[in-house]
Chain A
Amino acid sequence: MHFPILTSLITLPIVGAILLLFVRDDERSEGTVRAIALVVSTLVFAETLLLWYHFNAASAEFQFVERHAWIPAFGISYFVGVDGISLLLVVLTGFLTPVALLSSWESVHQRARAFAIFILLLESAMIGVFVSLDLFLFYVFWDAMLVPMYFLIGIWGYERRIYAAIKFLLYTMAGSVLMLLAILGLAYLHNVATGQYSFDLLQLYQLSISGQAQFWLFLAFALAFAIKVPLFPFHTWLPDAHVEAPTAGSVILAGVLLKMGTYGLLRFAFPLFPAAAVYFAPLLATLAVVGIIYGALVAMVQPDMKKLVAYSSVSHLGFVVLGIASMNMQGTQGAVYQMIAHGISTGALFLIVGMLSDRRHTRLIAEYGGLKNVMPHLVAAFLIVTLSSIGLPGLNGFVGEFLILLGAFKWNPRMAAFAATGVILSATYMLWMFQRVNYGTVTNEKNARLVDLRPREWLVIVPMIVVVVLMGIFPNIFLKPTGPSVERMLNQVQQGSAPARIEAQATSPEPRVSGVRVASPEPRAPK
């Protein structure tokens, strides 16, 4: 029995949060609170790096697996493990949480203790989402994560924070409760086929499900994930949540939470319902491409920097979904890569916008201008991050988008062609915004004496830029561990949707029950 590293990753932030409950909640202990939170989250990050170090990149299997019975009567277990896809997301979570905490030191003075507690609880739930291999456990973390985020937006956000917080929570929940029913339906189908309930992902992968059932179950899962991604037209919660959230909240929201949607598609929706996935892939891709172009066009006309970055997320996440929908090696690996890259570069963009808004208490582009003369260091960082978001070769954004477009082209050249316009558009809106904020002369008196990067801000932004460059120059560090896992996932989808599956011997000892088999490679649409 090895050290239960994944469990310790989930519990460590909770332990930190409980520890914080014993610190006095007043002005004087603010430093202690921050130190504890920062130390705990840094420890978690160190542990995620350790996880990566011990991870066997050549294997496609789930590693560091732990399994304990939880509700045995229903086949529910505490079952966690990572493969190449989730490993990087766990590391990303571990990386962004201390950064987010650090970024909040200036802007959050009220109730700093509660703030730190919610961030730590959120971290625990996020890691839980990525490592769960039991659908019930996954759902528990998925829903539990909403609560701390809701408080973060609602308490420490900007003017319309309450509206944004409730909208965020209700939107996500409305999607996910239907997924809950689908999970229950899946467990029930497992019961029909084998006589036992199971929420175990690996067992459910083995289940063959009729085309009709796949159609509905996939829809329920895909809806939950599409809202989370967010895929056009389910994106309307995102700009509100992003704009109103405090900087730390935006960083985590953009960096990690949005990835849960695409991760869910990769881990659950596609491999569990391969026939339906093949059937729905063109639709998903179409929505993704619409989202890419729509997000970019809307981003272009935003007067508010945060809103601009929020809409750019809609556009970038569209690429990820397109890569997943293309269901080939390049597209999917590109999607996984882009998930990480987007988390870093959009996180960094939100950090920089947060730094500007901490100084000026406004995020309107028109309020700025000529910042390059006032704070050259910050603008230099801003430039690198902007270029990485555009996808300049040599920085992290390029690799993912390139692989996705390659994959999409192999699958459907027309989609790729439309999506590629998004790359051009992103250059337009990002550079235009950058130019208006940073170049020219200082027109607004208030901008003339802004301070450049403070030491703490250096500490926040430098690691982000290091990762941006590292991911751009040595993409293989990040691509290698994902390869085998992505391949296994794609095989699973291909086998599951291939005609050969019909003759395959099922594991079920029960006589065949109608409606639990794959009827045809192309599932019928319901009448």
Chain B
Amino acid sequence: MIPALNAIVPMACVVAAGIAAMIAEAFNPPDERMPIAPLGVIGLAGAALASAALWDKNASSFGLVSADNFGLFVTGILVVVGLLSLSISPPTIDREDLPRGEYYALMLFALAGMMLMATATDLLVIFLALEVLSIAVYVLTGIRRDSPVATEAAFKYFLLGAFSSAFFLYGIAFTYGVTGSTRLDRIGSVLAAQSLNATPMTLAAVGLLIVGFAFKVSAVPFHMWTPDAYEGAPPPVTAFMSTGVKAAAFAAFVRVFLSALEPLRASWSTVLWPVAASTMIVGTVVGVAQTSVKRMLAYSSIAHGGYLLLALISGNDIGKGAVLFYLLTYAVTNIGAFGVIALLEDRDRPNDQVSDYAGLWHDHPVLAALMTIFLLSLGGFPPMAGFIAKWYVFSAAIKSGYVGLAIIGVLTSVVSVFFYLRIVVMMYMTPASETIARFPPVPKIAGAALVVSALAIFYLGLLPARVLDWAAASISTIF
């Protein structure tokens, strides 16, 4: 194989799987049902193998894509996201009669875009990757064409996303104007040379880039689209985008801000401080007031973005590792939670109000137990993975002296426990209002995926040392 292409092998596998999915759908007789999801699994397995082979090799393609350990770790997270999302999708696709070929193809293309975003080392390629993943996710959000809620969600997401892309592009243009390059390493060296007197132009560039990224990671005050999009999209898509998009966007965020824009840290950290604080506070406080489980988890994902921002601002070696570990934990946990929501959805009713969960313990004891594990992990209880992830983030904050943010972080996580527990209260402590079997039976593959997520949560919570070492090794190669 041509060595120059090595770095893009993982995403090439995923793209190939996506194309195969489209072809399979196109040449599929209408009355025959062909399993398309396994194609995606094959592609993702290829991506995983390729990433494992590239580990520690620091491969680079065209000077634009760098498969360093950081990017590969995020690629690994995305493979996990992809596999879990693929396995929880079939029940929803069957029930809603979604176009399966397009669904899987879009999901795989989005994944390829995410992987590119995580490994790109040039602002324009990052933008390209951002568009690839965004457009696929816009379509996925609105894939229930006959549902007004889904259409509205997709439209909102698209409009605001297009806006943020424009901001981001503006930021790239300003950066190019200041430094004469879009490549991260060159931007970094030029900025380092002139870091003592940051010009207004430079600050404008940084500000616009922050706006662009903040939209994608749904940081306050750019979070408005999140609850609507998460509520309108089919639950497996919500699971996919709440974890995958976040992982890819944070990977690029970290790469751009902690390498290229590192010399301007004093400037951007003063801006990001209030953003992180308000993201944590708004995410949890507004989450308390929600009655829809989906919206509640949407606000919770906003709050989790705040914790990730806290790790990013801390910016030390712990913080960078914390971002990676947190993204992995969050991916496994959140997909699990949305997976449960997806399995409880019925054709006639979405079953997504908090009160719909009453008595779930009696109807589906295993699903209730799994949901409890996911929620407790999101709330940061030991011995679940969420605790280790939060502990890692707060260690980073303490080390860099952001005690104020750390205090906001721990207190908001207590508040968030309140709304996670509302669901637990419903499931375990409130009798069901009706006794008929309201919830559809659980398909095997999707159920297995949830059990695997739960086991992963316990593994990461009880024996995190190995993954923590990987995360630490990932950040040492590039920063």
Cβ-defined contact, A181 with B382, below 8 A: no
Cβ-defined contact, B407 with A184, below 8 A: no
Nearest A residue to B394 by beta-carbon distance?
A184
Name the one of A25, A73, A154, A187 contacting B469, with C-beta atoms under 8 angstroms. A73
Q: How far is the CB of B405 from chain A (nearest CB, A)?
A: 11
Which residues of chain A have C-beta atoms less than 8 A from B381's C-beta?
A: 143-144, 146-147
Interface residue A70 (Cβ < 8 Å from any Cβ of B): yes
Nearest B residue to A76 by beta-carbon distance?
B465
Q: How far is the CB of B395 from chain A (nearest CB, A)?
A: 5
Total inter-chain residue pairs, C-beta < 8 Å: 79
Complex CA gap A35/B12 in Å reads 58
Interface residue A409 (Cβ < 8 Å from any Cβ of B): no
Proximity bits, B254-292, A CB within 8 Å = 1, else 0: 000000000000000000000000000000000000000
Cβ-defined contact, B465 with A70, below 8 A: yes
Cβ-defined contact, A140 with B425, below 8 A: no
Cβ-defined contact, B414 with A173, below 8 A: yes
Instruction: From known contacts A140-B387, A154-B429, infer whether A177 and B413 are also in contact, taking CB-CB under 8 Å.
Output: yes
Which residues of chain A have C-beta atoms less than 8 A from B465's C-beta?
A: 69-73
Cβ-defined contact, B407 with A166, below 8 A: no
CB within 8 Å of A: which residues of B?
365, 376, 381-383, 387, 391, 394-395, 398-399, 403, 406-407, 410-411, 413-414, 417-418, 421, 425, 428-430, 464-465, 468-469, 472
Complex CA gap A73/B465 in Å reads 8
Which residues of chain B have C-beta atoms less than 8 A from A140's C-beta?
A: 382-383, 387
Cβ-defined contact, B398 with A184, below 8 A: yes
Which residues of chain A have C-beta atoms less than 8 A from B387's C-beta?
A: 140, 143
State the majority secondary structure of interface residues on A: helix
Besides A184-B391, A188-B399, 18 other A-B contacts (C-beta < 8 A) = A70-B465, A73-B465, A143-B382, A143-B387, A147-B381, A150-B421, A154-B425, A166-B418, A166-B425, A170-B418, A173-B417, A177-B410, A177-B411, A180-B391, A181-B394, A181-B406, A181-B410, A184-B394
Nearest B residue to A74 by beta-carbon distance?
B395
Which residues of chain B have C-beta atoms less than 8 A from A150's C-beta?
A: 421
Which residues of chain B have C-beta atoms less than 8 A from A25's C-beta?
A: 365
Nearest B residue to A146 by beta-carbon distance?
B381
Instruction: From known contacts A166-B418, A177-B413, infer whether A71 and B428 are also in contact, taking CB-CB under 8 Å.
Output: no
Cβ-defined contact, A174 with B411, below 8 A: yes
Which of A69, A70, A73, A177 neighbours the largest number of chain B CB atoms within 10 Å of its CB? A177
Q: Which 6 A-B pairs have the closest CB atoms?
A: A177-B410, A140-B382, A184-B398, A154-B429, A71-B465, A144-B382
Interface residue A344 (Cβ < 8 Å from any Cβ of B): no
Interface residue A155 (Cβ < 8 Å from any Cβ of B): yes
Cβ-defined contact, A162 with B395, below 8 A: no
Nearest B residue to A72 by beta-carbon distance?
B465
Complex CA gap A71/B389 in Å reads 13
Q: How far is the CB of B384 from chain A (nearest CB, A)?
A: 9
Instruction: From known contacts A73-B468, A144-B381, A162-B429, infer whether A185 and B398 are also in contact, taking CB-CB under 8 Å.
Output: yes
Nearest A residue to B421 by beta-carbon distance?
A166
Which residues of chain A have C-beta atoms less than 8 A from B395's C-beta?
A: 74, 184, 187-188
Interface residue A169 (Cβ < 8 Å from any Cβ of B): yes
Complex CA gap A184/B421 in Å reads 26
Nearest B residue to A21 by beta-carbon distance?
B369
Complex CA gap A184/B417 in Å reads 21
